[in-house]
Amino acid sequence: MTARIAIVGGGPGGVTLARILHQNGREVAVLERESSFVYRPQGGSLDIHADSGQIALAKAGLTAEFQRIARHQDQQMRLYDKEGTLRLLDESSEGERPEVDRGHLRQMLLDSLPQDVVRWNQHVTSVEAQQDGTCDVIFAGGHRERYDLVVGADGTWSKVRPAVSPAQPEYSGIVFVELGIHNVDRRHPAIAKLVGHGMTFSLGDSMGLMMHRDANAHIGFYAAFHGPVDIYAGKSEAEIRAELMKKFSGWAGNLTSLIAESDEVVGVRGIYWLPPGHRWKHVPGVTLLGDAAHVMSPFGGDGANFALQDAGELAEVLLQKDWRQQLPIFEEAMAARCERPAAAANAAILKAFSPDGFTHSFHMMQQLIPKARAFPAKS
Ligand SMILES: Cc1cc2nc3c(=O)[nH]c(=O)nc-3n(C[C@H](O)[C@H](O)[C@H](O)COP(=O)(O)OP(=O)(O)OC[C@H]3O[C@@H](n4cnc5c(N)ncnc54)[C@H](O)[C@@H]3O)c2cc1C
């Protein structure tokens, strides 16, 4: 008899795991709280790394599909100071980390599964491991379903994690306000030129603007600073834009023009993390992957890539006869693999949002991308 497997959460990690298991003839259900794929804007671009995310997509048999949506041309990097002067530039687009829109990635993964594998509108409130090694999933409304294994792929605020670990995500104190500009080439050519094709940063005053070019001439960007996560609760888009303009009032006009010209406030995202190297004593019938296991600062660009990699490695375990014995080994390997990158990413964001954040990030990016050209500050 094959194992009955439930994956809680249909983000990149959960759906990749479902795809690999399904492709190998396993029955699997993805239980997703959202009502549909279009329930919320999916957010901007992610770079998918050759040594992690792309390996998982290859295991899922989706390399060709991925290459169709990957934007190799969007791998440039720019760093501006708050005076609006370009200080570092890598225009090469030669890396192994092509960009992809989050929405395109999720759509590709969902399209690779029969429609009934992802069950929408399934709000899981908790799970309960049973004495016999199975696990119950409890849904809002109170009904339960029993599985041989429940995988928590339900992100930062996982409802599965409490069954294995008391750890709670800690707030970094840094909030990212996500905004967007449509049709930038035609409507705002100066902004299109400033952002270029890839990731663009501007740091200063313990704050930052982080911009990226998405598909279809869309610019997504974050205005980020220290503050409470509910800072703009109840405010309209116009009010948020006005408050951001005030906050960044000492910054050059070419940078603040992004805020002024933005078409949408996509969301306000607090940056949280679990302790790097988060581990737990294995509980039969339950495991975790992705942000549920190791949410970290986005400053390493690893979160979604690690979620995909976890999915690929867990799928390989679950395809073995002795998967129950192998699960603790998978969990330890995942914790060990993520520990140092998570600690480094958490430290990097705190440094970047410190008073000498620009100088620190300038030197760090020079080390990471030695071929980037450096330019002097305007005197
Ligand atoms: C501002 C910001 C920028 C980032 N930039 C990058 C980047 O450039 N590169 C990168 O690799 N990573 C980046 N990340 C991290 C990345 O977004 C996450 O690491 C990644 O989405 C984790 O994938 P996941 O599948 O584990 O979880 P998620 O993407 O969080 O998916 C979890 C899913 O579970 C569902 N769910 C949640 N609770 C329940 C419930 N109770 N019942 C049922 N379903 C539930 C959710 O609706 C969601 O669909 C960034 C994160 C932030 C905040």
**Residue 260 CB coordination number (10 Å):** 12
> Which CATH entry fits the domain spanning 5-74+97-168+275-350: 3.60.20.10, 3.40.50.300, 3.50.50.60, 3.30.70.260?
3.50.50.60
Ligand 1 near 169 CB (within 6 A)? no
Please report the pLDDT score of residue 2 as a whole number: 84
Return the domain boundaries, the chain.
5-74+97-168+275-350, 170-273+351-374
Ligand 1 near 74 CB (within 6 A)? no
Beta strand 5-8 with 28-31: parallel, antiparallel or unpaired? parallel
Ligand 1 near 124 CB (within 6 A)? yes
Please report the pLDDT score of residue 1 as a whole number: 64
Ligand 1 near 378 CB (within 6 A)? no
Whole-angstrom distance, CA of residue 175 vs CA of residue 370: 30
pLDDT tens for residues 154-205?
Answer: 999 999 999 999 999 999 999 999 999 999 999 999 999 999 999 999 999 9
The pLDDT mean for the chain works out to 95
Q: How far is the CA of 313 from the centre of ligand 1 (A)?
A: 18
Q: How far is the CA of 23 from the centre of ligand 1 (A)?
A: 23
The CATH code for residues 170-273+351-374 is 3.30.9.30
Closest residue by CA, ligand 1 atom 20 = 304
* pLDDT tier, 40 (very low <50, low <70, confident <90, very high otherwise): low
Please report the pLDDT score of residue 54 as a whole number: 97
Please report the pLDDT score of residue 95 as a whole number: 75
pLDDT tens for residues 222-268?
Answer: 999 999 999 999 999 999 999 999 999 999 999 999 999 999 999 99
- Looking at 74-78, 81-85, 125-129, 324-328, which range is the least confident one? 74-78
Report which ligand 1 atom has the smallest distance to the Cα of 295. 19
Instruction: Copy the structure tokens of residue 18.
Output: 């479902």
Ligand 1 near 300 CB (within 6 A)? no
pTM, full prediction: 0.96
Handedness of CA 352, 358, 363, 367 (dihedral sign): positive
